[in-house]
Amino acid sequence: MIKTIQESRLFKIANPESIAYFGASNNFSAMGTHMLQSIQALGFEGKIYPVHPKEDTVLNLQAYRSVSDLPCAPDLAIIVLPTRIVIETIEACGEKGIKHAIVVSAGFKEVGPEGIALEKELLDTAKKYKISLIGPNCIGVANPHHQLNSTFLPFEGKPGFIGMASQSGSFITQMFNYLKTRGLGFSTGFSVGNEANVDIVDCMEYFGACPNTKVIALYVESIRRGKAFIETARAIIPHKPIVAFYVGGSEAGRRASFSHTGSLAGPDKLYEGVFRQSGVIRAYTIEQMFDFCCVLGTSSPPTGNRIVIQTHSGGPGAAAADCCSQANLELPSLSEETLEKLSPFIPHTASSANPIDLTYTKNPLDYFSKIPAILLDDANTDSLLVYFLASDSLIKRALEGMGMSANDIEENTDKIIDQQCHSIEELFKANGKPFISFSFLTRESSFIKKLMDKDIPVLPGPERAVKAMGALVRYKQLKDKVLASQKNQVSKI
C-alpha cells in the first residue's frame, strides 16, 4: 500500500500540471472539443497543449502539429481520437516521454474479438513506455480540488469528499448535477472504462491515501483482480469506509454490463461474498450509494445499534421506526432520567416512547437544541435520527402575522434559520454520537441548504435515513472485524 497519493500511478492522471490533448478541434460537435471545453470551463491552471494535424489554434490555445513538436513532455495525454489511430498516438506519446494517459476512445474489448486484439496491442504499447493508462472506453477524470474535469459534462457543484471509481463514465459525469442537489461532491471521480491497465483497485489505493477523500464509492460491474481487491480494501477499511454498488447480479444486468465494458459480471452471491470479506458496504442503487457516502463521509460510527428518533410528525416517525429492523437497528426506551429532563420541553400531546413524537414544541428552537441534546445524552442510545420540517414559508407566515414588513421578514427568517442551523451544528460537533437528519424538503429550502453546506447529513426520507444509519453501524462492525483479523495475523507471527 502507498502512503501518499504522490506514489500512486494515478497521481499525475488526477493532478497533472500539463496536458497534451488529442482529439479537440474547433468543430463544436466533436466529443473531444466538448471534453476540452469542460477542462477550460473549470479553470484548470496547468498548461494545455492541443495536438491537431491542421489547426494553428484549438479553442484559443496554441496547437501543435504532432506530439513530437511539443516544447516538453506533458504530465498527461488525453486521447479522444478515432480507434484506429489511438495506438500510434500512444506510441508517439511514449517516444516523447509522456508517462500518463487517459484513453477516451471506444472500439476496443467491448466490441468483440477484433477489439480484444486491439486492446492488447494498446496495453503492450503503454507497457513498453511505462505509461500508466486509464481506459480505453472511459470518460476520464474529475478532480475539482485541482480544477480538473476532463469529462463530457461541465462540472457543477463543489469539490467534495467522495472518491469514486466507476466502471461507467455516466456515474461520474452525470452525477455532478445530482450531487450538487444533495450538497455533496466528488473529491475525485475516475471513470475506469475497460480497465486495460489502471483498474478500480488502483483507484481504491489512490483514494486510501487521498487527503480530500473521506469515503470511497465504487460502481462495479466486474472485479478483475479479486485477491488484490480484497487485500486493498482490507488495508483501507480501518481508516476509510468503502461503499460499492454492484450491477450484474441478474441475467439481464449481466448482459447489459457485458456489452458496456466487455467484462463478464459474476453471480450476485459471489460478489456479495467478496464485499463481505473485503469489509466493503454494499449499496443496492446509485441513490443509496450516495446516501451511504453522505453519512459515512461526515459522521463517526456509533458504538452500537440503538437509535432514538426525534420527530414532530407521526407518519414520518412511524415510517422510520418501521424500517429500523430491516437496517438491524434497535429502538430502545429512554431512561427515566431522560424522560424527566425532557418533560419541561414537551407538550401533553407528545409521545415519549421511541420515536419521540413531540407533535409540536412550545419554543420551536428547543427542537434544534435542548431536545436533541437531551436525547443524545441518554445512556440507552448510540445515535440520533431527527426529522426536519422547518419550512421557510411557515416562519415567514408567522412573522408576517406579527405585522413585520417584507424586508424585516426576509432578514428575520434568515436569522431564525441561522440560529437553528447553528444549534444543530454545535450539537453535531460537540457530541460523540452520530446524528442524521431527514426531510422531505430539498435544497430549495434555505434551512436544508444551510445544513448541507455545513456537511450535516440530511437524507431525503425516513427509510433512506434509517438505512444510512444502518450502513454507519455496519461500517463499525466491518472495521472491527478487519482490525481483529489483522491483529490475529500479527500475533500468529
For the segment 213-232, give every residue that binds a second copy (CB under 8 A): 219, 221
Smallest gap from residue 437 Cβ to a second copy (A): 14
Angle between helix 370-377 and 406-430 (nearest 10): 10
Sign of CA dihedral 480, 485, 488, 493: negative
Smallest gap from residue 202 Cβ to a second copy (A): 19
Region from 199-207, 298-306, 325-333, 405-413 binding a second copy, contact rule CB under 8 A: 325-333
Provide the mask over 447-476, with x wherever binding to a second copy is found by CB under 8 A and - wherever it is not.
Answer: -------------xxxxx------------
Smallest gap from residue 102 Cβ to a second copy (A): 17
Residue choice 113, 252, 432, 492 for contact with a second copy (CB under 8 A): 252
d(CA 472, CA 470): 5
Smallest gap from residue 166 Cβ to a second copy (A): 7
Asked if residue 476 lies in contact with residue 302, where contact means CB atoms within 8 angstroms, the answer is: yes
User: How far is it between the farthest Cα atoms of the chain?
Assistant: 81
Burial of 180 from C-beta contacts in 10 A (0-12 / 13-18 / 19+): middle
Residue closer to a second copy (CB basis): 174 or 486: 174
How would DSSP label each residue in 336-371? HHHHHHHGGGS-TT-B-SSSEE-SS-SSGGGGGTHH
Q: Does 321 bind a second copy (CB under 8 A)?
A: yes
Q: Does 272 bind a second copy (CB under 8 A)?
A: no
For the segment 345-384, give every residue that binds a second copy (CB under 8 A): 348-349, 351, 353-355, 357, 359-360
Residue choice 373, 398, 409, 483 for contact with a second copy (CB under 8 A): 398
For the segment 403-432, give every residue that binds a second copy (CB under 8 A): none
**Coil, strand or helix: which one is 191?**
strand
Region from 6-14, 210-218, 343-351, 474-482 binding a second copy, contact rule CB under 8 A: 343-351
Asked if residue 185 lies in contact with residue 179, where contact means CB atoms within 8 angstroms, the answer is: yes
Residue spans of beta strands (DSSP E) within 247-337: 281-283, 307-311
Q: How many residues bind a second copy (CB under 8 A)?
A: 86
For the segment 76-105, give every residue that binds a second copy (CB under 8 A): none
Residue closer to a second copy (CB basis): 94 or 302: 302
H or E element, residue 276: helix 268-278
d(CA 240, CA 293): 11
Residue choice 18, 335, 391, 486 for contact with a second copy (CB under 8 A): 391
Q: Does 164 bind a second copy (CB under 8 A)?
A: no
Smallest gap from residue 486 Cβ to a second copy (A): 34
Provide the mask over 167-206, with x wherever binding to a second copy is found by CB under 8 A and - wherever it is not.
Answer: xxxxx--xx-xx--x-------------------------
For the segment 11-30, give every residue that binds a second copy (CB under 8 A): 28-29
Residue closer to a second copy (CB basis): 163 or 462: 462
Task: Please give the grid coordinates belonging to residue 135.
Answer: 481506459
H or E element, residue 226: helix 226-236
H or E element, residue 406: helix 406-430
Phi, psi of 384 (to 5 degrees): -130, 140
Residue closer to a second copy (CB basis): 274 or 319: 319
Q: How far from each other are the two terminal CA atoms of the chain, in whole angstroms?
A: 20
Residue closer to a second copy (CB basis): 401 or 432: 401
